Amino acid sequence: MRKHAGLWNLLYGALSVFMMIPIYYLLVTTFKTPAEAAAHPLGLPVRLTLANYKKALDSMEYLRALKNNMIITGCAVVVLLIISSMAAYVIARRTNRIYRIMFSVFMVGLIVPFQIAIIPLYRIISGLHLMNRLAGIIIIDVFCINLPLSVFLFKGFISTVPIELEEAAEIDGCGTLGIFFRIVFPLLKPIVSTVAILDALAVWNDFMTPLLFLQDPKKGVLLQEVYKNVGPFFTNWTSFFPMLVLATLPLVLFYFVMQRYIIEGVVAGSVKG
C-alpha cells in the first residue's frame, strides 16, 4: 500500500478537483452577465463585478430574511438542546419498560419522514393560530423533525457518563434537576456542540416547512427568497447563483468555525464508548 501511496494521492487529488467543479461554476457565474454565462459557462469573467450581488441583496431583502433565519435557527437549537438532553437523560438512566417504549417512539420518528403528516400538521398549526408565525416553524422544526435524532445522540453519550458522579451528588442532597444541570450537562459539552451544529444545519436548510407555513412575504426565510427567482420556464442563473451564495454563506462560516467540535464529539464518544 505504501509503495502505491503516490498513485493514490494523485487519484484523490483528481477526485477533489472534479468535485470542486460545481462550486467553481457556482462562484464564477455570480460575476458574469447572462450573455457571458451562456457563452462561456466555465470560463473566467471578462470583468470582475459585484453588480449581481448588489442586485441579489436588494431583491431578496437579505437582512430581513437573514434575521428570520437566525431567529428560527437560534430558538430551535436552544429548545432542542434542552428538551432532547433531558429526555435522553431520563431514558438512559431509567430501566423501566415505559422508558424503553419512549425511546422506541423516538426511533420511529427518526425513521418515518414527517412529510407523511403534513395535512394533519397543517390543521394543528392552523388550530393553534400559528400560521405565518415564526413560532410555528420553530415548533415543527423541534418536535416534528429534529428531536428524534437529538435524543438518539444524547442517549448514546449519556450512557458513557459514570453514574457514580450522580450518586455522590444525590448523597449530598442534590435533586434530579440539580444533578442533571450541575453534574451531567457540563460533561456533555462534546455532544452538545455536535448536536447544536447538526440541528443548526438542518433547521437553516429546511425549505419545505417555511414554504408551507409562511405565506407572509415579510416572514420569509433565505431559501424562500432564493426560490422566488426560479421561474416555470426560465431561470436567470446570474441572479439565482448570487442569491444562493448569500443564503449559504452564514451557514458555511458557521460550519468552518464549529467543525472542530464535531471531531471532538466523535473522538470523545469513541474513547469513552
Q: Is 129 left (phi over 0), alpha (psi -120 to 50) or beta?
A: left
d(CA 229, CA 253) in angstroms, rounded, equals 24
What is the average per-residue pLDDT within 242-252?
89
144: pLDDT strictly greater than 50: yes
Top pLDDT among 42 and 236 is at 42
pLDDT (0 to 100) of residue 12: 86
**DSSP conformational letter for 225:** H
pLDDT (0 to 100) of residue 110: 86
Give the chain's mean pLDDT: 86
266: pLDDT strictly greater than 60: no
Share above pLDDT 90 across residues of the chain, in percent, rounded to a whole number: 34
Q: Residue 44, exposed/middle/buried by CB under 10 A (0-12, 13-18, 19+)?
A: exposed
Top pLDDT among 261 and 10 is at 10
Cell of 111: 425513521
Of 181, 179, 202, the residue nearest 255 (C-alpha): 202
Report residue 273's pLDDT band, with 50, 70 and 90 as the boundaries: very low
Contacts of 22 (CB under 8 A, 6+ apart): none
d(CA 83, CA 138) in angstroms, rounded, equals 13
CB–CB of 23/209 below 8 Å?
no
40: pLDDT strictly greater than 50: yes
Q: Does domain 61-272 have CATH number 1.10.3720.10?
A: yes
d(CA 70, CA 63) in angstroms, rounded, equals 10
Structure confidence by residue, pLDDT tens digits, 111-129: 888 888 888 999 999 999 9
Top pLDDT among 12 and 6 is at 12
CB–CB of 160/269 below 8 Å?
yes
Of 269, 271, 89, the residue nearest 166 (C-alpha): 89
Of 139, 25, 6, 147, the residue nearest 72 (C-alpha): 139
For the whole model, what pTM was predicted?
Answer: 0.85
Of 223, 268, 214, the residue nearest 249 (C-alpha): 223
CB–CB of 238/30 below 8 Å?
yes
Structure confidence by residue, pLDDT tens digits, 170-222: 888 888 889 999 999 998 988 898 899 889 989 999 999 999 999 888 888 99
- Delimit the domains of the chain by residue range: 61-272
Cell of 264: 471532538
**Locate cell 447563483: which residue?**
241
d(CA 193, CA 156) in angstroms, rounded, equals 15
CB–CB of 84/198 below 8 Å?
no
What is the average per-residue pLDDT within 251-268?
72
Report residue 41's pLDDT band, with 50, 70 and 90 as the boundaries: confident
158: pLDDT strictly greater than 60: yes
CB–CB of 241/249 below 8 Å?
no
**Locate cell 405565518: which residue?**
132
H or E element in which residue 101 lies: helix 97-111
262: pLDDT strictly greater than 70: no
109: pLDDT strictly greater than 90: no
Neighbours of 96 (CB within 10 A): 8
